[in-house]
Amino acid sequence: MRANGAKFMLSRLGKLRGKPPPADAEVKNIKFIDDGKFIKLLGIPFWEKFDSCLFWEQLYDRMKCKMAAWHDHSRATVCGRSMLANSMIYSIFRYWAQCMVMPEYIIDSVEEDVQALIWGKDVTFDAEEAGTHVKFRRWMKKGAQYGNRKTHLGIGLLPWRDHLKALQVNWLLKYMDGSRGEWKFLLDAWFARHPEGRGAIFSTLLRLASPCCASWIWLLCYTSTSQEFLA
């Protein structure tokens, strides 16, 4: 059985980055990722030269178009709007937030949209606008809205910035726990070669990694643990 080269696409990483494709008979029929473009593996983008912010902007535009098509959201209660925000807005970004760094200006725009949705009156969302700039009156403290409705008298809104940190820290802790998944040995080749061992993920090493390398790291964690779970 021979692999179909037309269905493959290669990415040059490490020392091969920026160099022309190798003149090898085995790869001459295989395409390489063009500059400014990306490919997706399990929905996650990978690239050689690409601004990841453009990918997040595409996600945000898709979410904002959905909000612009809403008409009856103003009839919902504050708690009902909070449920809309948690299930219909934040959920769009959650999958990619586990393996990519969400830009601050995208986070700010999403938060503006959510706050306008919950506390604004008869708000109409513009699909072309970044964020929603309207005046509203929040009749509870900003932090109180994240509390549980029964125990803390909040509205159950998801604290999105804290949630983003928790998603990524969750995978770091899985890497550090006592399990022996094979995916960890692959990550050891990246991290454990340093004096800190696996503890290097809590240093500046991960912060200095390029966004594309970070995507490979998170994808490796996500797909490997998912396969172990399904097995």
Show me where the domains of the chain are located. Answer: 5-50, 53-163, 169-224
Average pLDDT over residues 18-32: 67
Distance (Å, whole) CA 52 – CA 105: 13
The pLDDT score that the predictor gives to residue 229 is 36
Considering only residues 117 and 5, tell me which one the structure prediction assigns the higher pLDDT: 117
The pLDDT score that the predictor gives to residue 60 is 92
Q: Which residues, other chains included, contact 112 with Cβ-Cβ below 8 Å and sequence gap of 6+?
A: 131, 132, 133
The pLDDT score that the predictor gives to residue 3 is 60
Average pLDDT over residues 38-46: 73
Considering only residues 191 and 2, tell me which one the structure prediction assigns the higher pLDDT: 191
Distance (Å, whole) CA 229 – CA 145: 35
Is residue 144 pLDDT above 70, yes or no?
yes
The pLDDT score that the predictor gives to residue 12 is 67
Average pLDDT, the chain: 75
Least confident of 58-67, 86-95, 174-183: 174-183
pLDDT per residue over 100-128, tens digit each? Answer: 888 899 999 999 988 888 887 878 788 88
The pLDDT score that the predictor gives to residue 217 is 55
The pLDDT score that the predictor gives to residue 107 is 92
pLDDT per residue over 208-228, tens digit each? Answer: 454 545 555 555 555 544 444
Is residue 98 pLDDT above 80, yes or no?
yes
The pLDDT score that the predictor gives to residue 215 is 52
Structure confidence at residue 182 as a pLDDT band (50, 70, 90): confident
Helix (H, G, I), strand (E, B) or coil at 134: coil
Is residue 15 pLDDT above 80, yes or no?
no
Distance (Å, whole) CA 168 – CA 29: 37
Structure confidence at residue 231 as a pLDDT band (50, 70, 90): very low
Is residue 66 pLDDT above 70, yes or no?
yes
Phi-psi region of 23 (alpha: psi -120 to 50; beta: other; left: phi over 0): beta
Nearest alpha-carbon partner for 223 in 8, 38, 42, 9: 42
What is the percent of the chain with per-residue pLDDT over 70, rounded to a whole number? 69
Average pLDDT over residues 119-143: 79
Is residue 168 pLDDT above 50, yes or no?
yes
